[in-house]
Structure 1
Amino acid sequence: MTLSMRTFVAVAVGILSAATSANAITNGVGKLPVMGYNAWNAFACNVNDTLIIQTAKYMKEYGLLDVGYNHVNLDDCWAMKNRSSTGEVMSDSIRFPSMKKLTDQLHALGFYAGIYSDSGWFTCAGYPGSFMHEEQDAMTFQSWGFDFLKYDNCAIPFDDIIREGMVGKYQRMADALAAVAKKTGTTLIFSLCEWGWSHVWLWGAQFSHSWRIDGDIAPQWNSISSIINSVSFITQATNYYGRNDLDMLEIGNGNLTYDEAKTHFTVWALVKAPLLIGTNLATISQEMLSILKNQEIIAVNQDPIYGTSISPFRWGINPDWTYDATHPAQYWSGPSEKGTVFMLINTLNEPANLSFNLTESPWIRAGIQYSVRDLWTHTNNGTAVRSFTAMNVPAHGVVALLLNEDGNEPAGLVPPCAGEALSQCTAQDGTKYS
């Protein structure tokens, strides 16, 4: 990829003019979930340009760039604590002496470069926010060569100052990015970090590549399951150019087991969330790297034909539509370029069998048998007729399947209708099956 020719207009920059918006949609920028790295979860404020470049080199060395992780994003703490005398935000003179040099190096390595700011007076770590400096900061970020902006939600101005609702608070930067795009022909992908408000999806799609749906993630199962629960109710918000952001990937951090990490990655990928690694790559294990590099799972996340998230078709342990952060929805499905995707999650603390009738998924046709591909074992596992059972799924583990039509089901099956259709199973002469 050639990143020096940054003459694109990202879709997620605001409610743009008709001409600008049309350009954004047709050039494909921001169409698919961003994949890459964010430094916050591993390093917080302990970052500098050397660490960022070394992380990018690890991503190349470990093959992460090759499978699609092509963004390297700064988070908080990169700036000086005060603006210049003319109001410009300035990078830390010791840790980030030249942002343009940093982005040039990242581009030369094959990556896009991301930066962070805040919609309030200050960032969450107390550095200058962009409120009342939106266009000035957008122009600065563009001149430094950045391609992506994460925009946070701390230090909110008093009501008699901002005089905006939550939408207007973020619209200010969306409009600024659009203005800079008009002036320069370049802009940044815009990602909202409006944590803790799951209703953000109702309006986030108006002007953002992605929007955070929950609080900050932690590297432990109860955090993962809680976020899965939150997203299960709003999967309909996701399509090309806009998606639910479940926060960063904690693969290799904290005390997540291998099976929990697989579930974490599978959910994030199949609901079409951004895939931003938040791990110290200097210490990550090969086992955890193998999770991040599962190309069959990544292919669903980056599907060029279907932009929608998979969705629950049955909650499982709980009645459907039950809000339960400990036991979220277990049975999910959705369309993909290569077949119907199924995801089964064992939310129990011990191994369990997970079974479903094929036609519980709206993407499956009655009377058809389906070939079964396991996206984690990378094996073809025979044919499913009417139902499927995943045996002995580990505690907090996941099964990811790809089903494709494989001819008509065998003749003469009894009953003649499967699943929920049985109660209304009727012959042509009107006789109901019983």
Structure 2
Amino acid sequence: MYLLITFIGVLTFSHSAHALVQKDGVGKLPALGWNSWNAFACDVNETKIMTAANEMVNLGLKDAGYEYVNIDDCWSVKSGRDSTTNQIVPDPTTFPSGISGTASSIHALGLKIGIYSSAGTETCAGYPASIGHESLDAATFASWGIDYLKYDNCNVPTNWSDTYQSCVPEPGSSYEGPFPNGTCPAAYYSASHPAAPSNYDWSTSNTTKRYDIMRDALIAQNRTILFSLCEWGQAEVWTWANQTGNSWRMSGDIDPSWSRIVYILNENSFLLDFLDFWGHNDADMLEVGNGNLTLEENRSHFALWAAMKSPLIIGTALNELSTDLVNVLKNKYLLAFNQDDVFGSPAMPYKWGANPNWTWNSTSPAEYWSGASQNGTLVLAFNPSGTALEKQIVWSEVPQLANGGDAFEVTDIWTGDDLGCVSNGINSTVATHGTAGFLVGKACQGTSQSTSSLVRQHREVRECAGLFGGDNKY
């Protein structure tokens, strides 16, 4: 509870006065796109980038709203900058058309292109980075036709280190945990990396200054470039980054394991008061389609990232993605919520479920979520447990519905089924690691039919019609 109160205390300052508002609405809503890293890491080249761009069109992802095709680390010559111009040099072997040529091809598809650098001397993979070269690199990126910059946090020079260590409650090499109620105990810090005073203003930190320098360099260009901060939740980034970038990573890196996805979900559930239009917590790139995640886990991952209004940046090989997972990424109800241009706030937990409300639990986070949108209230029931569970959504417990009546028009977000006018609430059997989701619309005259049998009836009809693939749980 201490963390939540501390975060809310800074919210009004960061959003009402200092949002980074860009031309043509760029950055107002969470970015939708694709990035090369989770799929290919350093094994990236022009062919793979163009395959992703073409698949975004062919699979209907562009039509669903995805627009950025982002090249991550390892795109340049590793040995250094151009000896004459001092510019970063695209690798002529892996990008024979150069970045500008690749950008032209992507723009011809009606898409946008992103590039990667770091606020340090080298990128995370050891390639030339941008600290000390921000103006030159921003101008170079703009001249190439870049639309998006992911700016990492590796290889920071000693003279740019922060005076204090911020609390990022994740296991690391120097401290594995625990993190009582999401806090960092004394053992997390050291003499060389002490905790900040309670009244410390992180917007004065060197981390903030490093990212502000690149922000200013990008703004100075005659091209709008979305600025995505990838600084891993350091320096309490959520308290200042709304004036610096369009999104900011709130945690360390994701990986395609269920445990890591749930860990980040738990972290971000306590930070959601810090985002709205023009600035978004970035829960990291999607792992949908990667690793050994089940269909239910992929659905939950996408649904909760969309509901939290994180940028939705796909990170898998699109030409190998199953139809089921393409459909998850194109879910029209979740994308509409994520991209709502009237309601900027995310869905938030309204009930933790197995745990008391506001419990920090990295394996069993908040289970019941809701958020307002133009189309109605999105309500999710997440099952983090290892067995299927009956989940009960009660209208009177949902903040957006509590004073609106006893019955509402309801749509199942996974099947698209219109469940009609549903009284009191809705029960669903939710598979292990699955998420039930409903769009709750206008108030209506209630039905006498039990909600659990109503959901079951609609699912049985779809299964008999061969529309549900035998998967009769969420």
Match of 1:122 in 2: 122
CA distance in 2, matches of 1:335, 1:405: 12
Deviation of 1:198 (Å): 8.5
Q: 1:178 aligns with which of 219, 225, 234?
A: 219
Match of 2:182 in 1: none
Q: Percent identity over the alignment?
A: 43
Q: 1:221 aligns with which of 251, 255, 258?
A: 258
CA distance in 2, matches of 1:21, 1:404: 33
Match of 1:110 in 2: 110
Counterpart contact for 2:120–2:156, Cα < 8 Å: yes
| Mapping for residues 196-275 of structure 1, pairs under 5 Å | 196-197=233-234, 199-275=236-312
1:371 paired with 2:409, answer yes
Deviation of 1:385 (Å): 2.6
Counterpart contact for 1:162–1:169, Cα < 8 Å: no
Match of 1:138 in 2: 138
CA distance in 1, matches of 2:410, 2:160: 59
Paired AA for residue 411 in structure 2: R
Residues 24-79 of structure 1: CA deviation (Å, up to 9, x unaligned): 36x31221111111001111111111221122111111111111111100000001
Paired AA for residue 36 in structure 1: G
Paired AA for residue 120 in structure 1: G
Q: 1:351 aligns with which of 375, 379, 388?
A: 388
Counterpart contact for 1:269–1:300, Cα < 8 Å: yes
Match of 2:37 in 1: 40
Could you say what secondary structure the match of 1:244 adopts?
strand
Deviation of 1:409 (Å): 6.1
Match of 2:368 in 1: 331
Match of 1:418 in 2: none
Deviation of 1:191 (Å): 0.2
Deviation of 1:358 (Å): 1.5
CA distance in 2, matches of 1:357, 1:21: 38
Match of 2:81 in 1: 83
Deviation of 1:368 (Å): 3.7
Paired AA for residue 381 in structure 2: L
Match of 1:383 in 2: 421
Match of 1:71 in 2: 68
C-alpha RMSD of the superposition: 2.1
CA distance in 2, matches of 1:302, 1:310: 12
| Mapping for residues 139-158 of structure 1, pairs under 5 Å | 139-158=139-158
Counterpart contact for 2:421–2:444, Cα < 8 Å: no
Deviation of 1:196 (Å): 4.4
Deviation of 1:219 (Å): 1.1
Deviates more, 1:115-124 or 1:358-367: 358-367
Counterpart contact for 1:341–1:402, Cα < 8 Å: yes
CA distance in 1, matches of 2:272, 2:52: 32
Deviation of 1:199 (Å): 2.9
Deviation of 1:179 (Å): 2.1
CA distance in 2, matches of 1:68, 1:236: 25
Q: 2:53 aligns with which of 52, 56, 59?
A: 56
Paired AA for residue 407 in structure 2: Q
Deviates more, 1:303-312 or 1:256-265: 303-312
Deviation of 1:223 (Å): 1.1
Counterpart contact for 1:198–1:230, Cα < 8 Å: no
Could you say what secondary structure the match of 2:63 adopts?
coil
Counterpart contact for 2:421–2:445, Cα < 8 Å: no
Deviation of 1:383 (Å): 2.9
1:166 paired with 2:207, answer yes
Going from structure 1 to structure 2, the CA distance change for 1:160 and 1:120 (only over 3 Å counts) comes to closer
Match of 2:325 in 1: 288
Going from structure 1 to structure 2, the CA distance change for 1:356 and 1:199 (only over 3 Å counts) comes to farther
CA distance in 2, matches of 1:21, 1:260: 34
Paired AA for residue 438 in structure 2: L
- Corresponding residue pairs, total: 387
Going from structure 1 to structure 2, the CA distance change for 1:319 and 1:129 (only over 3 Å counts) comes to same
CA distance in 1, matches of 2:436, 2:226: 33
CA distance in 1, matches of 2:325, 2:340: 23
Deviation of 1:377 (Å): 1.3
CA distance in 2, matches of 1:160, 1:67: 41
Deviates more, 1:39-48 or 1:362-371: 362-371
CA distance in 2, matches of 1:93, 1:401: 49
Counterpart contact for 2:283–2:310, Cα < 8 Å: yes
Match of 1:8 in 2: none
CA distance in 2, matches of 1:321, 1:144: 47
Query: Normalised by the size of structure 1, how large is the TM-score?
Result: 0.85
Going from structure 1 to structure 2, the CA distance change for 1:149 and 1:384 (only over 3 Å counts) comes to same
Could you say what secondary structure the match of 2:135 adopts?
helix
Deviation of 1:280 (Å): 1.0
Q: 1:362 aligns with which of 399, 419, 440?
A: 399
Going from structure 1 to structure 2, the CA distance change for 1:356 and 1:161 (only over 3 Å counts) comes to closer
Q: 1:319 aligns with which of 356, 371, 374?
A: 356
Paired AA for residue 45 in structure 1: C
Counterpart contact for 1:198–1:214, Cα < 8 Å: no
Counterpart contact for 2:20–2:246, Cα < 8 Å: no
1:29 paired with 2:26, answer yes
Going from structure 1 to structure 2, the CA distance change for 1:89 and 1:364 (only over 3 Å counts) comes to same
Could you say what secondary structure the match of 1:65 adopts?
helix
Counterpart contact for 2:162–2:207, Cα < 8 Å: no
Counterpart contact for 2:161–2:207, Cα < 8 Å: no
Going from structure 1 to structure 2, the CA distance change for 1:350 and 1:138 (only over 3 Å counts) comes to same
Residues 228-280 of structure 1: CA deviation (Å, up to 9, x unaligned): 10111011112111111111111111000000000001011111111111001
Going from structure 1 to structure 2, the CA distance change for 1:331 and 1:187 (only over 3 Å counts) comes to same
CA distance in 1, matches of 2:332, 2:441: 19
Going from structure 1 to structure 2, the CA distance change for 1:296 and 1:161 (only over 3 Å counts) comes to closer
CA distance in 2, matches of 1:347, 1:187: 40
Counterpart contact for 1:345–1:397, Cα < 8 Å: yes
Deviation of 1:282 (Å): 2.3
